[in-house]
Amino acid sequence: MASRKTTLRPYSFAENCIDLELESFKIDGSIRKGTLVDEGSKSIDLTSKGFETATLKFSYNINEDLSEYSPEDEPPFEILVKVQNITTHTRRVILRENIKDSGTFEVILQRKDFRGQIEIEPEIVRQDSTHQQQGYATDTRKIIGDGAEWTIDIDENSASGSGIACVCEDFSELEDERITADMMFYLDISNMDEPKILLNQKSEKMRNIMDNRASQGKNARIRDILNDVVFLPVMYQLLLRSLASTDPKTGESSHPLERSMFRGFTRKMDYDEEKIESLASTLENPSEVEELSSEIARYLQIERDIPEDIQKMINRVQN
């Protein structure tokens, strides 16, 4: 494929330079025969599989010489593959390695972590920066190539598991004194088994942006910003409630979501048994709550990969 410049990128860009193919799949540890994909399709349907864990093995192939996309003799490129689930505000890097002609990787999906549709996005990015040179991407994390997106349908958008459903409402029409027309969103936890994020959508344009599934373009950038604006305070509220509602000695709670968030936080932040058991008293002490709040903020940024998301957003806007 020939080098090309686009209206969005003032440098050479290798469009569709990565080919992904599904090699095999396992459902709850058992290798399944047959196919999940029609010939020529890049969509996988798991809605009828009734799984807890699905493991999909993909192969990738770089279909052109990428040396022409860098001023260096040995381009400092790496391949990234990201999994994104807009409904649950989840983005994960599942592959990051130095560029080579081909390779394989696995996508491991826990059913409880996702809802609706998942996107798998392959990209080629720069690992470091170099001196500016016209016609080339020279900044760290610049995307210099991509591949066709794959989609995986997990369910029919039913609000189950630990996923949080997003429901679009016109707040000016709701008869709830806790929700006012000047709010952007509201976390409805009246049923903690199925919490919902109510999004204030006053116009069709807003609805179209939030429903956008593209990985690039102006509306996709706006959607990603809105998701991050909503995600952090919502998850902070849910996590703080989970820490307060879960028995620190047993790790048990009345709701699966609270148990899952409690365990995820304490494991990621390397809490030992003593620190876990002290959570109850911590939440009653204002000075200790401040320290805990800082740890929650750090945890959410790590889990969401906020620094990289922001850098990617800046790169896209600048281009």
Cα–Cα distances in angstroms (integers) from residue 255 to residues 158, 164, 189, 247, 258, in the given order: 18, 14, 11, 12, 5
Residue 150 is assigned to a structural domain of this protein:
yes
Residue 218 is assigned to a structural domain of this protein:
no
Q: Which pLDDT score is estimated for 122?
A: 93
Instruction: Look at the chain and report how many structural domains it folds into.
Output: 1
Residue 62 is assigned to a structural domain of this protein:
yes
What's the CATH number where 110 sits?
2.60.40.3880
Q: Which pLDDT score is estimated for 161?
A: 37
Per-residue DSSP letters for 194-238?
S-EEEEE--SHHHHHHHT---SSSHHHHHHHHHHHHHHHHHHHHH
Structural domain harbouring 61: 14-158
Q: Which pLDDT score is estimated for 102?
A: 93
- Between CA 242 and CA 230 the distance in angstroms is 18
Q: Which pLDDT score is estimated for 304?
A: 61
Cα–Cα distances in angstroms (integers) from residue 232 to residues 106, 163, 224, 302, 309, in the given order: 28, 15, 13, 11, 13
Residue 259 is assigned to a structural domain of this protein:
no
Q: Which pLDDT score is estimated for 150?
A: 92
Q: Is the dihedral of CA 206, 208, 210, 212 positive or negative?
A: negative
Residue 281 is assigned to a structural domain of this protein:
no
pTM (predicted TM-score): 0.51
Residue 35 is assigned to a structural domain of this protein:
yes
pLDDT along the chain (319 residues), means of 10: 44 88 88 70 85 92 89 85 77 86 92 84 86 77 87 65 66 84 84 81 66 64 73 83 80 77 79 79 74 77 61 58
- Between CA 119 and CA 88 the distance in angstroms is 12
Residue 164 is assigned to a structural domain of this protein:
no
Residue 224 is assigned to a structural domain of this protein:
no
